[in-house]
Structures are given as structure tokens and as C-alpha cells.
């Protein structure tokens, strides 16, 4: 048993009275999200009627999960915090550092050779500080969490934006940066702006080619990549109950793609079935006893408009399969419209590769439904036109689908089975020919499809779809194939139609694995020694950032004025850079190399004001740093959307950038910047973005009286000798201002524990 039954029991014992008190203070029925949030207030947090989207609230999450790429920095920070052991159950999952190339066995051996230093570091830190360790090959963090740790009514944080996946099992699970994980693992309060609430009512029932994935693809089309910002999305209705638990996980997983704080579902029979099937009947039993507290009060779902800030309704019976993309997950096209959209937009229609699996879609149900299509290839005399790959979410899933014959079925259509890891989803895909940068189309059942994400080729048009549709399109080799209406010509020249997918929600013989890949930590880790070599290029112990100098910031240079989308992938690329996630100085060489410079529309080419020449972004910033000059980064809307990677905040801080000034921020990134002692500012008037010129210098004024809700002033000095002042806003509360002054949140915490 790897999960903590006592912790769950203790929470369920307290939940009814905590919820009753909250209901009294708020003086109205409560949504599920509110019940979970109010049940997890930190002991020092006073109970009050919190303002949604306004109040900063201190929470005490039940657990923490970290993946290997972000865990390195999280644990390096935790080591600096001066604690002997983690304060809440925590786990590390090795899933991001495995390159998908030839197939599971060989790829895993290569990863173990290539990254042994990092895996050894993570396992020894885990062993020392009481953290559960899931070794490479055990599976993708979110699938492993769903199978082992998620539980209805729980609250967790994870250092990965798709931590939200655990909402499928009724949690409030939130993706954060490593510094937040350090807070929770140190037993400190974890602060979050009390979220707004979006209710999504699901009516009807899925049938035919539609799947749970299509629910979130449709929602992404409605709400867009920014539509969920600062909100928890709560799904309810008969349609919600009809979905499997893992289907709910898929929907919650991609809540990250609409910027939502998290998404969740009320406890129901699908969750009970999943808990039992994954050997957690005791958890289901406990949950059944507090059932009414693990869903919203009845009045809420009867009159959702009264209790949610926004309500969306989707009829599952009418839902069409969708293809979202290319290059953004919210460009949603129903399959019946794909022909005309592809023609209109010039999307390449030949599907080169279909990829299923990942943390988003590798449940038993997904794989069995995809296999039902693969089986039809031989039965109907077809030949699969595109390449096809499977990335199982965990060893438990892989072992079970192998035992039940699905891997054999996929083998027969020439599929490649990658390791139980992120692989192509995070750009760890050594795709043959990608370096030629040819225009091509792939379809996958992952969650993200930003340019260059999967194979590093900016000309790969990646579309997101359900595993079933991905499989059908790989068989057809054609993006415009609508399996519900179109025919395929088989090897005998006959016209055949694919039957709609069928599958099992859960394995009839139960889940199994010979070795799931878990290593429990030492009971007493105080003697475990963690070594980091000074000559390592993968790991570097952290030096504290310098505290604020106590004055306004003067004479700052412009590092880059980024144009358009600037996600954490653009700020701190993944792919080959993942290997430097534990070495701040080395990874800083990828700072903003994916961002487009507003002035020359080029990527990784900005003006060095000292030499008046263009150079790569990290080189220019290092040149400023060498001269003791600070700089600012200017950005567009939703700056820092995408992942929770704090390197996107630490790198500019390490290299001497002093402020990030944008039209708007993605939530996690804004918090990450604050935690690292950086100024995260927004234009009070978005049009002022146009006032920033390439050769300007800047002063940031008002820092000596830096206070919540008091804007700062940016003085812009133009090259022609003129100057102008604009108002810049911030969302720092009093505590966050202390982080800024101390140089980082970690500096403040280390000082507190040292007392």
C-alpha cells in the first residue's frame, strides 16, 4: 500500500464540521470546489467569506507530487530550506527525461545511462527526506498519481501543470512551481488567490465516436486558452456521472490548456469503481461514508447560475469528435468541418504519425477502444497508412494491456511502443527526419500542440484528438477522414467503413504489474548523504538570489519585447534542454530563445544595446550582467502560459533581468516570478506596449513605498532624448512584497527556519 489511508481518514473525519462552519460563514449552499478548499485552510488561516478572484488564502494541501525535470530544482530549493523531512506525503516521478526513439526497453536503458547522475540525485534526496520515489519506467506522474494517490475531496499540488489530472478522482489538484512545493513540503502555508468558479453542466451521454476527450476539446474551443484563468472548473450533471473516472481525468488534465487553476468532478460510482479496481477499496469505503460532502450541495447544481461565476452546458449526446490545432489546443474543429477548414487554412492533410497515450489518454478504456480499431485493420483487409506509436501512462497500464493482448493487436499494425514516460509529449522524441524541418501533419492524443513541442520541427502541424480518432486517422493516413461517414479502400479495392470504437472501462481481470517501480524512502534518512559534484554539468547547488537593494531600479535595458504567444516553452525550452533542469547556469543558456522579437520578427535575435549589434538572447543578457546592468522583458497577453516550470522565472532572475512587464500573465508563471524575487508587472493601459522602443532605457519608480494595490511607475527614456512615464500594475500582496525584498520566497523561509 503506497497511499496514506490515515491521512485520508483524518481529513474525512474533519470535513463535515469544517464544511458546516464554512457554509455558515458564507451563508449559502457550497459548490464542491468550495467544500474542498474550505476543508483545507491552513491552521493559521482565519475562516471568512473569501472573495473569489480577490482574497489570498493560505491552504494546507494533503500531498505533493514532483516530476523529474522540475523535482531537481524543487529539491535543490528544499535542501536550502533547512528542514530534516517533508511535512506532507510527497513523491518524485521519473518520466520526463526519457527520449522516445527505438522502443521502450532500449530507450529506458539509454535514459538510465544518460541521466543516471540526476536519477541518483533524486532517489538519494527522496530517501533522505522521506519522499516516495518512482523510478524511470514506472510511469507518467499524473497517471501514477491517479492510480495510487488521488482521492475524492483531497487537495494536492504538483510541480507540473497537468497535476490537475487528479480532478478526475474528485480532487482539487493544482500545478505549481517548485518553490510552492518547497512551502508545502516544509509545512508552511501555501497561498493561492481564492479561485473563481466555472460550472460545466454535462447532459446526455456519449455514443459512437465521441469520447471524454471531445468534451474538453469542445470546452477549449468555447473558453479558449485563457478562459479558465484564475478559476476552478467544476463539472456536474447526469452526463458527468456517465463518464468513466479516467475519462474525467482526461477532461481535468486538459483544463490546463484553458488556463484553469484546476478542474474537478463530484464523487460518484465511476470513482468508486476505479478506486476498487486500483486496489483502494478502503478509500472507496471511507469516501462512501462522507459522500454528501464530496459533491456540491443539491441547490448548487439545481440553480448553477446563482452559485458559479460562469456556466457552460454541453450535451454529450450531440457531441462530435474534435480535432484541435494546429499550434494551439483551443482551435477546435468538429470532425465534420475538418475538410473545409484544412482546405481553407492550407493544413497538410496527409497524416504522417498517429501517437496515442501520454498522461492525458492512456487509460485502459482509451487503449481498449483504440485497439478495437486496430483490430479492424486486419479484419477489413486494410493497411495502416501512417506510423503509429503508443506511450503507456504507467507500468501498471502497460503490463495490463500487454496481458490482455492489446499490445499484440497494435504490433500487427506496425506500432512502436515507447517507454512509460512523457516522450513525444514533451519533445523527448528523436523523430527520424525532423531535422529536415519539412511541413507535415501529426495527430496525437496528448494535451499540448504548441509549435515545435513534439519533435522540435516548427513545421509540424500537430492536432490533438481522442485516442480513438487518432487511431482512425493513422489508419486512414488522412486528416480529413471522418470515420463516422467516410469509407476507406482496402487492399482488395473494396470500400469499407470502420465500426465505432468499443472497449472496457476497466480491466475485467483487474490491474496488475510485476514491478510497478516504487521505492519507499528510508524510515530515518538523516544519515543518507546527497552528493552533487562541483564539476557536474547537470546539477548545481543553488546560491541564494541577492536581496533587493532598497531603492528604485534605474537605467534598465530592454532585453526583448516579445511578440505574440510567449509560453514557458518559448521562455525556457524543453526538449534537449530538459537535461539541464538541475543546473541553473547551464539551463539559462536557453533563456527566451523561442520568443519572437517584436522589432525584427526573428526568434532568438535581439539587439545588444552595448555593442549595437544583434545576438542571441542569453548572450545579450550575459553581456548586460557582466556590466552590472539590469534589464526588463516586455511581453504580450497570457505571458508564461503553458507549464509550471519555474526555470522560466529563475533563468531571467539568475541572469539579471529585473522585471517582466506584460499585457497579462498566466497564473502559475506570475507566482513563480514573485517567488523568485522578480518584479511581475502589467501595463495599466495595454496600449502602452506600443510605447516601448528598442533602444529605450527604463526606471521602475515607487519601490521604496511598494504596497499592495498601489501601482508602480515605469519611466521610459527614448533614444531621441524624450521620456514618458506610464503606470504599471502588480498583484503583490504584503507577504509577496516581503519575498521581493528578501530576494526570493526561499530566502525568507530559510531565514525564518534559521531563527
Cβ proximity to ligand F3S, 199 vs 582, nearer residue: 582
Cβ proximity to ligand F3S, 40 vs 448, nearer residue: 448
> CB under 6 A: which stretch of 15-23, 134-142, 199-207, 401-409 binds ligand F3S?
134-142
Using rule CB under 6 A, residue 426 touches ligand F3S: yes
> CB under 6 A: which stretch of 206-214, 419-427, 585-593, 600-608 binds ligand F3S?
419-427
Are 646 and 671 in contact, with CB atoms under 8 Å apart? no
Cβ proximity to ligand F3S, 70 vs 457, nearer residue: 70
Smallest separation (angstroms) from ligand F3S to the CB of 138? 13
* Given 57, 71, 94, 359, the residue binding ligand F3S (CB under 6 A): 359
Torsion of CA 685, 691, 694, 698, to 10 degrees: -70
Give the separation between CA 397 and CA 410, rounded to whole angstroms.
Answer: 15
CA distances from 697 to 556, 677, 705 (A): 5, 21, 22
Stretch (H or E) spanning 251: helix 245-253
Cβ proximity to ligand F3S, 77 vs 358, nearer residue: 358
| Strand order through the sheet with 155-158 | 172-175, 155-158, 63-67, 90-93, 132-134, 518-519
Q: Indicate if 142 belongs to the active site.
A: no
Smallest separation (angstroms) from ligand F3S to the CB of 255? 12
- Residues 68-97 touching ligand F3S, rule: CB under 6 A, are 95
Q: Indicate if 322 belongs to the active site.
A: no
Using rule CB under 6 A, residue 422 touches ligand F3S: yes
- Residues 435-464 touching ligand F3S, rule: CB under 6 A, are 446-447
Q: Indicate if 720 belongs to the active site.
A: no
Reported as half-sphere exposure (CB side, CA atoms, 13 A), residue 62 has a value of: 28
Handedness of CA 599, 600, 601, 605 (dihedral sign): negative
Cβ proximity to ligand F3S, 224 vs 454, nearer residue: 454
Cβ proximity to ligand F3S, 360 vs 747, nearer residue: 360
Smallest separation (angstroms) from ligand F3S to the CB of 327? 16
Smallest separation (angstroms) from ligand F3S to the CB of 446? 6
Give the separation between CA 102 and CA 221, rounded to whole angstroms.
Answer: 35
Cβ proximity to ligand F3S, 568 vs 596, nearer residue: 568
* Given 40, 63, 142, 654, the residue binding ligand F3S (CB under 6 A): 142
Using rule CB under 6 A, residue 425 touches ligand F3S: yes
> CB under 6 A: which stretch of 140-148, 235-243, 282-290, 694-702 binds ligand F3S?
140-148
Task: For strands 155-158 and 63-67, give the pairing.
Answer: parallel
Q: Indicate if 455 belongs to the active site.
A: no
Cβ proximity to ligand F3S, 142 vs 557, nearer residue: 142
Cβ proximity to ligand F3S, 34 vs 160, nearer residue: 160
Handedness of CA 16, 275, 255, 513 (dihedral sign): positive
Give the separation between CA 410 and CA 443, rounded to whole angstroms.
Answer: 17
* Number of H-type helices and E-type strands within the chain: 26, 30
* Given 35, 162, 369, 669, the residue binding ligand F3S (CB under 6 A): 162
How many C-beta neighbours within 10 Å does residue 72 have? 30
Q: Indicate if 643 belongs to the active site.
A: yes
Q: Rounded to a whole number, what is the distance in angstroms from the first to the last CA of the chain?
A: 38
What is the three-class DSSP state of 122?
helix
Using rule CB under 6 A, residue 573 touches ligand F3S: no
Are 225 and 325 in contact, with CB atoms under 8 Å apart? no
> CB under 6 A: which stretch of 100-108, 137-145, 178-186, 266-274 binds ligand F3S?
137-145
Per DSSP, which regions of 332-479 are E strands? Answer: 332-334, 351-357, 387-391, 416-417, 440-444, 460-464
> CB under 6 A: which stretch of 36-44, 421-429, 504-512, 696-704 binds ligand F3S?
421-429
* Given 11, 108, 141, 331, the residue binding ligand F3S (CB under 6 A): 141
Which string of DSSP letters, residue by residue, matches 148-160?
HT--TT-EEEESS
Give the separation between CA 282 and CA 288, rounded to whole angstroms.
Answer: 10
**Catalytic site residue from 448, 581, 647, 669:** 448
Residue count, binding to ligand F3S (CB under 6 A): 13
Give the separation between CA 212 and CA 245, rounded to whole angstroms.
Answer: 10
Q: Indicate if 160 belongs to the active site.
A: yes
Smallest separation (angstroms) from ligand F3S to the CB of 463? 16
* Given 75, 140, 216, 419, the residue binding ligand F3S (CB under 6 A): 140
Burial code (b: 16+ CB inside 10 Å, e: under 16) for 31-59 equals bbbbbbbbbbbbeebeeeebebeeebbbb
Smallest separation (angstroms) from ligand F3S to the CB of 164? 11
Per DSSP, which regions of 237-377 are E strands? Answer: 262-265, 310-315, 322-324, 332-334, 351-357
Q: Which residues are catalytic?
A: 95-96, 160, 448, 643, 645
Residue numbers at the binding site for ligand F3S (CB under 6 A): 95, 140-142, 160, 162, 358-359, 422, 425-426, 446-447
Amino acid at each position: 500500500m503506497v497511499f496514506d489511508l490515515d491521512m485520508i481518514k483524518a481529513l474525512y473525519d474533519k470535513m463535515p464540521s469544517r464544511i458546516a462552519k464554512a457554509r455558515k460563514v458564507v451563508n449559502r449552499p457550497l459548490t464542491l470546489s468550495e467544500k474542498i478548499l474550505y476543508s483545507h485552510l491552513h491552521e493559521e488561516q482565519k475562516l471568512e467569506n473569501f472573495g473569489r478572484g480577490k482574497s489570498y488564502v493560505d491552504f494546507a494541501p494533503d500531498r505533493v507530487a514532483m516530476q523529474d525535470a522540475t523535482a531537481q530544482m524543487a529539491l535543490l530549493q528544499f535542501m536550502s530550506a533547512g528542514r530534516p523531512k517533508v511535512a506532507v506525503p510527497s513523491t518524485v516521478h521519473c518520466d520526463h527525461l526519457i527520449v522516445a526513439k527505438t522502443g521502450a526497453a532500449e530507450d529506458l536503458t539509454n535514459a538510465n545511462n544518460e541521466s543516471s547522475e540526476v536519477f541518483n540525485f533524486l532517489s538519494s534526496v527522496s530517501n533522505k527526506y522521506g519522499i516516495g520515489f518512482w523510478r524511470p519506467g514506472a510511469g507518467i506522474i499524473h497517471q501514477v498519481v491517479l492510480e495510487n494517490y488521488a482521492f475524492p475531496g483531497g487537495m494536492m499540488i504538483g510541480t507540473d501543470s497537468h497535476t490537475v489530472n487528479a480532478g478526475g478522482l474528485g480532487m482539487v489538484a493544482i500545478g505549481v512551481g517548485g518553490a510552492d512545493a518547497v512551502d508545502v513540503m516544509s509545512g508552511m502555508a501555501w497561498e493561492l488567490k481564492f479561485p473563481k468558479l466555472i460550472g460545466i453542466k454535462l447532459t446526455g451521454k456519449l455514443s459512437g465516436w465521441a469520447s471524454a476527450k471531445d468534451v474538453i476539446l469542445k470546452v477549449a474551443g468555447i473558453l479558449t486558452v485563457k478562459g479558465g484563468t484564475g478559476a476552478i472548473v467544476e463539472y456536474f450533471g447526469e452526463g458527468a456521472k456517465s463518464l468513466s473516472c479516467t475519462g474525467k481525468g482526461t477532461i481535468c488534465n486538459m483544463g490546463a490548456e484553458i488556463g484553469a487553476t484546476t478542474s474537478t468532478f463530484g464523487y460518484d460510482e465511476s470513482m468508486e469503481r476505479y478506486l476498487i479496481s486500483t486496489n483502494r477499496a478502503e478509500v472507496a469505503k471511507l469516501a462512501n461514508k462522507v459522500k454528501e460532502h464530496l459533491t456540491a450541495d443539491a441547490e448548487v447544481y439545481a440553480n448553477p447560475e446563482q452559485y458559479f461565476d460562469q456556466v457552460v452546458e454541453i450535451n454529450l449526446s450531440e457531441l462530435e469528435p474534435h480535432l484541435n490545432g494546429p499550434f494551439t489546443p483551443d482551435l477546435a474543429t468538429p470532425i465534420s468541418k475538418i475538410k473545409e477548414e484544412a482546405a481553407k487554412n492550407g493544413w497538410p492533410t496527409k497524416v504522417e504519425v498517429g501517437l496515442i497515450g501520454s498522461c492525458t489518454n492512456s487509460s485502459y478504456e482509451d487503449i481498449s477502444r483504440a485497439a478495437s480499431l486496430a483490430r479492424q485493420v486486419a479484419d477489413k483487409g486494410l493497411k495502416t497508412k501512417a506510423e503509429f506509436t503508443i506511450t503507456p501512462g504507467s507500468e501498471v497500464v502497460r503490463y495490463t494491456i500487454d496481458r490482455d493482448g492489446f499490445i499484440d493487436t497494435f504490433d500487427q499494425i506496425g506500432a512502436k511502443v515507447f517507454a512509460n514516460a512523457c516522450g513525444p509529449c514533451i519533445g523527448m522524441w528523436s523523430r527520424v527526419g525532423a531535422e529536415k524541418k519539412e511541413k507535415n501533419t501529426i495527430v496525437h492524443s496528448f494535451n499540448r500542440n504548441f509549435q515545435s513541442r513534439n519533435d522540435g520541427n516548427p513545421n509540424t502541424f500537430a492536432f490533438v484528438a481522442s485516442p480513438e480518432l487518432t487511431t482512425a486517422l493513422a489508419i486512414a493516413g488522412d486528416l480529413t477522414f471522418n470515420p463516422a461517414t467516410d469509407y476507406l479502400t482496402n487492399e482488395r479495392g473494396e470500400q469499407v467503413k470502420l465500426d465505432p470504437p468499443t472497449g472496457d472501462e476497466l480491466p475485467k481481470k483487474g490491474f496488475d504489474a510485476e514491478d510497478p517501480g516504487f521505492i519507499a524512502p528510508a524510515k530515518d534518512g538523516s544519515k543518507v548523504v546527497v552528493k552533487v559534484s562541483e564539476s557536474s554539468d547537470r546539477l548545481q547547488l543553488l546560491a541564494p538570489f541577492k536581496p533587493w537593494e532598497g531603492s528604485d531600479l534605474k537605467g534598465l535595458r530592454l532585453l526583448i519585447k516579445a511578440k505574440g504567444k510567449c509560453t514557458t516553452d518559448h521562455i525556457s525550452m524543453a526538449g534537449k534542454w530538459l537535461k539541464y533542469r538541475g543546473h541553473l547556469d547551464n539551463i539559462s543558456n536557453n533563456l527566451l530563445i523561442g520568443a519572437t522579437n517584436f522589432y525584427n520578427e526573428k526568434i532568438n535575435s535581439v539587439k545588444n544595446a552595448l555593442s549595437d549589434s544583434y545576438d542571441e538572447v542569453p548572450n545579450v543578457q550575459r553581456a548586460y550582467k557582466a556590466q552590472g546592468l539590469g534589464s526588463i522583458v516586455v511581453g504580450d497577453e497570457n505571458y508564461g502560459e503553458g507549464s509550471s516550470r519555474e526555470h522560466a522565472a529563475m533563468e531571467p532572475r539568475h541572469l539579471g533581468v529585473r522585471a517582466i512587464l506584460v499585457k497579462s500573465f498566466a497564473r502559475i508563471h506570475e507566482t513563480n516570478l514573485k517567488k523568485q524575487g522578480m518584479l511581475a508587472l502589467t501595463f495599466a493601459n495595454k496600449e502602452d506596449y506600443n510605447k516601448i522602443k528598442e533602444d529605450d532605457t527604463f526606471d521602475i519608480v515607487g519601490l521604496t513605498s511598494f504596497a499592495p494595490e498601489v501601482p508602480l511607475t515605469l519611466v521610459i527614456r527614448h533614444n531621441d532624448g524624450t521620456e514618458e512615464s506610464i503606470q504599471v500594475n502588480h498583484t503583490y500582496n504584503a507577504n509577496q512584497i516581503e519575498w521581493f525584498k528578501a530576494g526570493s520566497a526561499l530566502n525568507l523561509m530559510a531565514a525564518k527556519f534559521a531563527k
